[in-house]
């Protein structure tokens, strides 16, 4: 009897979380005439033994959210972006090759969604490298299984030191390990590995904006997880709030999408060095406008002061400081602390004196847009630089040189196009 009551209470609690963390309606999208099949949110079965001493994953409870909760079937449907049947089959077949258990997986980048300047020609061997991100429960154990299955994915020193070494390097902020230029199912891919707790933490708080920033842009979910879908909906809404606070009162949807897409690039040192296409943000938005609109429009119209008619490309936002304050105080905790710390150094009265007046005063400050953008760049800068340095450890010198050479080529193309 007590267990039934406990389960009912937990179900009610998680339903309340799902309703309060996002402004999206739970009804299916009216902008799509076809129903997109939902990825399964059930627990993953234990992997079958594939080699001696098969170490099964240790049972654990997430430090962030209860792992057993479920979401309404239509929650976060805006995240389920369609791709062609051939692309979907290819992505799913690649992820299915991994024996180690993956809780959440998505594919992203020019190999999944078209970008300006990237032409996918598989017959000529010019398909862009496919990018994946895997979220797992126990990174050390996952790498142990994966290293046994795919030793060539890891450099020699990583194989010598073992999975514990790999997981310790992975834990260094922003908490990702990449294996690049590896062949799976006849396709060249790059895949990152992180923990479920780490990805959820970044989506909620913008601790590093490394994963959260990537997930501001269109991606294809291959394996779904209720916790990640919930926190990703919070992340998308946070990106909207930040972008709306840094844009004028009237702007186009393309300007909104470019501002959102630029969040993860503005502080990245690669955008200053000859290591990335300078036109990357415009290239992404120009070809992926419909996907951006599917991700963000229903969330945007649920925010205070936003007017965005269905068929319109122009957006209007109320400039009233009280409306802007409602957006400001719900920014992710890391960004919000940096913004308030900045204003406290300028001598502005603290919010302890009058909290309501404090938020209205900040929201009405004409320097707020530049302050928010500056603080987002400061969040991105350090983790992006650390991850670039970690690439030498995770990929080895040879692959790092190859990857850097390709990035320089993209930078040169972007420079020549201007």
Banded pLDDT at 56 (limits 50, 70, 90): very low
DSSP3 helix / strand / coil % (the chain, rounded to 5): 50, 10, 40
The stretch 128-142 carries a mean pLDDT of 95
Q: List the single range of 135-139, 288-292, 348-352, 359-363 with lowest mean pLDDT.
A: 348-352
pTM for the full predicted model = 0.81
pLDDT at 267: 76
CA torsion sign, 65 to 71 to 77 to 83?
positive
Judge contact between 208 and 201, C-beta under 8 A. Answer: no
Q: Which of 228, 356, 242 lies closest to 299, judged by CA? A: 242
Residue 411 has pLDDT above 70, yes or no: no
Is there a contact between 287 and 116 (Cβ–Cβ < 8 Å)? yes
Confidence check: pLDDT of 136 > 90: yes
Q: What are residue 65's phi and psi, to 5 degrees? A: -140, 155
Residues 302-328: tens digit of each pLDDT: 999 999 999 899 999 999 999 999 999
Check whether 33 has a pLDDT greater than 60: no
Q: Is 375 helix (H, G, I), strand (E, B) or coil?
A: helix
User: Would you state the pLDDT for residue 393?
Assistant: 85
* Structural element, H or E, at residue 178: strand 177-184
Q: Where are the domains of the chain?
A: 238-382
Instruction: Output the six-digit token pair for 2.
Output: 């007590």
Name, in order, each residue with C-beta under 8 angstroms of 346's C-beta and a sequence gap of 6 or more: none
Q: How many CB atoms lie within 10 A of CB 238?
A: 22
Query: Of 141-145, 248-252, 399-403, which range is least confident?
Result: 399-403
| Alpha-carbon span 235 to 241, nearest angstrom | 10
Q: How far apart are CA 32 and CA 368, in angstroms?
A: 37
Percent of the chain with pLDDT over 90: 63
CB atoms within 10 A of CB 178: 20
* Average pLDDT score, the chain: 83
C-beta of residue 302 within 8 angstroms of C-beta of residue 23: yes
pLDDT, residue 42, reads 45
**Per-residue pLDDT band at 28 (split at 50, 70, 90):** very low
pLDDT > 80? residue 368: yes
pLDDT in tens, 186-208: 999 999 999 999 999 999 999 99
Q: In what order do the strands lie in the sheet with 104-108?
A: 177-184, 187-195, 130-136, 104-108, 219-223
Other Cβ atoms within 10 Å of 408 Cβ, number: 14
Residue the block writes with tokens 């009610």: 12
Q: What is the DSSP string of 86-99?
A: HHHHHHHHHHTT--
CB atoms within 10 A of CB 136: 25
**Residues 246-267: tens digit of each pLDDT:** 999 999 999 999 999 999 998 7
Between 271-275, 309-313, 338-342, the lowest mean confidence (pLDDT) is in 271-275
Distance (Å, rounded) from C-alpha 90 to C-alpha 187? 9
Residue range 133-149: average pLDDT?
A: 97
pLDDT category of residue 34 using cuts at 50, 70 and 90: very low
Q: What angle do CA 337, 170, 186 make, to 5 degrees?
A: 125
Whether 50 shows a pLDDT value over 50: the answer reads no
Residue 151 is classified by DSSP as G
User: Band of the pLDDT at 121, cuts 50, 70, 90?
Assistant: very low
Q: At residue 52, does pLDDT exceed 80? A: no
The tens digit of pLDDT for each residue in 156-182 reads 999 999 999 999 999 999 999 999 999
Average pLDDT score over residue span 68-89: 91
Is it the case that residue 215 has pLDDT exceeding 70?
yes
Q: What angle do CA 279, 408, 187 make, to 5 degrees?
A: 90
In which band, very low, low, confident or very high, does the pLDDT at 128 lie, cut at 50, 70 and 90?
Answer: confident
CB 136 within 8 A of CB 103: yes
Alpha helices, DSSP H only, in 2-131? 2-20, 85-95
């Amino acid at each position: 009897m007590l267990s039934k009551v406990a389960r009912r209470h937990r179900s009610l609690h998680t339903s309340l979380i799902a309703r309060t963390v996002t402004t999206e309606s739970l009804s299916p999208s009216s902008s799509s005439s076809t129903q997109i099949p939902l990825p399964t949110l059930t627990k993953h079965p234990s992997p079958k033994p594939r080699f001696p001493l098969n170490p099964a994953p240790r049972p654990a409870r997430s430090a962030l959210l209860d792992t057993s909760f479920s979401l309404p079937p239509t929650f976060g449907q805006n995240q389920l972006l369609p791709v062609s049947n051939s692309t979907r089959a290819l992505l799913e077949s690649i992820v299915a090759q991994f024996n180690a258990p993956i809780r959440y997986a998505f594919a992203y980048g020019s190999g999944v969604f078209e970008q300006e300047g990237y032409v996918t020609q598989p017959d000529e061997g010019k398909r862009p490298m496919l990018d994946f991100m895997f979220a797992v429960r126990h990174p050390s154990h996952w790498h142990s299984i994966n290293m046994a299955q795919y030793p060539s994915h890891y450099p020699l020193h990583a194989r010598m030191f073992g999975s514990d070494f790999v997981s310790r390097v992975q834990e260094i902020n922003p908490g990702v390990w990449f294996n690049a230029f590896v062949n799976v199912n006849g396709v060249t891919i790059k895949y990152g590995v992180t923990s479920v707790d780490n990805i959820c933490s970044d989506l909620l708080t913008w601790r590093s904006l490394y994963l959260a920033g990537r997930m501001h842009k269109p991606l294809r979910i291959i394996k779904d997880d209720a916790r990640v879908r919930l926190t990703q909906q919070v992340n998308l809404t946070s990106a909207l709030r930040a972008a709306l606070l840094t844009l004028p009162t009237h702007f186009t949807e393309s300007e909104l999408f470019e501002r959102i897409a630029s969040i993860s690039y503005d502080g990245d040192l690669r955008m200053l060095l000859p290591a990335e296409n300078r036109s990357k943000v415009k290239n992404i938005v120009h070809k992926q406008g419909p996907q951006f609109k599917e991700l963000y429009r229903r969330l945007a119209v649920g925010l205070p002061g936003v007017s965005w008619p269905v068929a319109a490309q122009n957006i209007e936002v109320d400039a009233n400081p009280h409306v802007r304050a409602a957006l400001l105080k719900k920014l992710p905790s890391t960004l919000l602390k940096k913004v308030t710390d900045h204003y406290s150094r300028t001598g502005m009265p603290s919010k302890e004196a009058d909290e309501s007046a404090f938020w209205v005063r900040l929201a009405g400050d004409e320097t707020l847009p530049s302050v928010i953008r500056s603080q987002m760049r400061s969040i991105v800068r350090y983790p992006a630089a650390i991850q670039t340095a970690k690439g030498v450890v995770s990929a080895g010198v040879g692959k790092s040189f190859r990857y850097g050479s390709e990035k320089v080529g993209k930078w040169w193309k972007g420079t020549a196009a201007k």
